[in-house]
Chain A
Amino acid sequence: MSNAGWIETCRADEIDEEDVLRFDHGSLTLAIYRSADGKYYATDGLCTHEQVHLADGLVMGDIIECPMHNGRFDYRTGEAKGAPVCVNLKTYPVKVEGGRVLVQIG
């Protein structure tokens, strides 16, 4: 269900704190994050280095680490934090309504 570019992805409680969940929407794959202080974020779900799913990786604080080559991004801003990742991740606005995480993709 979408509303002005917003899509429902998952229940807020489906993601543990300091963890990440994969959500696919058509050909778009997203990574939905829940930080240690309970905030939600969303980025493209594939590492910009080798197109590996970040949802299989490790969340440490504000960092998502790619499971293949340990490349790191700040998932709040999408910033690449060092080799082998050089290209930033795209991020998306997120809000939580009625216990569900919504991401604006359009």
Chain B
Amino acid sequence: MSTRFQMRDYSLTGPENAAARAKGLASAEWYRCAIPRKRMKELMQRRDGPAIRDTITWFAAIIGSGALLYLAWGTWWAVPAFLLYSVIYAGPSDSRWHECGHGTAFKTRWMNDVLYQIASFMVVREPTSWRWSHARHHTDTIIVGRDPEIAATRPPSFLTLALNALHIKNTIAELRRVVLHSLGRMTEAEKDYIPESEYPKVFRAARAWLAVYLAVIAACFAMGSVMPLFFIGLPSLFGAWLHLFFGLTQHAGLAEDTLDHRLNSRTVYMNPVFRFMYWNMNYHIEHHMFPMVPYHALPALHEAIKADTPPPYPSCWAAYREIIPTLLRQAKDPTYFVRRPLPGAQLEPSTSFAAAPAA
């Protein structure tokens, strides 16, 4: 006899939200590796220097690759120049959005806020809405019905993942929300995690974004060329594959509904170029367990706790050798997931997904 599994409702407005709260999974206490307070304070210390250096480097690369695109415009060389510009423009924008959203990139608050607004625009994530969405992601990481940022559902939607490689589905959804917010309205899901006192900020940012988009379109008409769109707008789509590539290593295929980040997050060793573009978010267990540690201290935090975490993945290749087969298997068996080995402990049988047989 075969059993068809009923897909769980991942939305925040469905029954899984209440179910998670009833199970004690919402706003719960999570496992944390032991670190002496003195060492923790050292790791949490903020500095402006690393982020100033990295931001200048990033913007210089954007300007340099943008100059190549401008010079190549009108020739076939513009194609690789545009792809290079896009990956430099959009690839790191996700990690800058993330770190500045946490307020940990710089020691100086306004620097975090300015880069956050710029990176939010480049990665097409409304600054206020996503700040609150990401706060919920940290409170209830990969808790079904509570976390609005679960990228790989069970079973996975390969169409969604493919569309997100060009940021198409996300951008369409985001632009719809920008228009809605510019009209002074919020979605029902947003009302679940964004307090009403924040709505004016949401509306202001949406109107500012619309103004920029309209200015770019006006520039196209004024110049009689689509070139402005290839500098602002389209790069957010054509460079998105890089932050999807990085982002899927974070949680895809791992446990849901667990209160231990060591079981639902990955730490992956990456090369220095990737770590520059990803701002050390490859240390993802460390980041979720101690989000107040700034990106430049995450390698040191990893050294401090690695004896109490599952083995890190030695490379992106190793991580994807696990992720791809896992997602393919979950397409047929949504109860399957990767069980990470905890140090000195036996693996426990999964109870994190109770599949409902089809009626």
Contacts and interface: CB of A to CB of B under 8 A. Distances in A.
Interface in A64-96: 65-70, 72, 83-84, 86
Contacts, number: 45
A58 B290 CA distance: 11
Interface residues on A, range: 10 to 19
A86 B195 contact: yes
A45 interface: no
A1 B107 CA distance: 40
B46 interface: yes
B41 A50 contact: no
A84 B131 contact: yes
A58 B139 contact: no
Contacts of B334: none
A69 B128 CA distance: 14
B148 interface: no
A84 B291 contact: no
B131 A65 contact: no
A50 B195 contact: no
Name A's interface SS.
loop
- What interface size band does chain B fall in? 20 to 34
Contacts of B27: 50-51
A70 B131 contact: no
Given A50-B27, A51-B27, A58 B131 contact: no
A60 B46 contact: yes
Given A51-B27, A56-B40, 15 more contacts: A50-B27, A57-B292, A58-B41, A58-B44, A58-B46, A58-B292, A60-B46, A67-B292, A69-B102, A69-B138, A70-B104, A70-B292, A83-B128, A84-B132, A86-B195
Interface of B: 27, 40-41, 44-46, 102-104, 107, 128, 131-132, 135, 138-139, 195, 197-198, 290-292
Interface of A: 19, 49-51, 56-58, 60, 65-70, 72, 83-84, 86
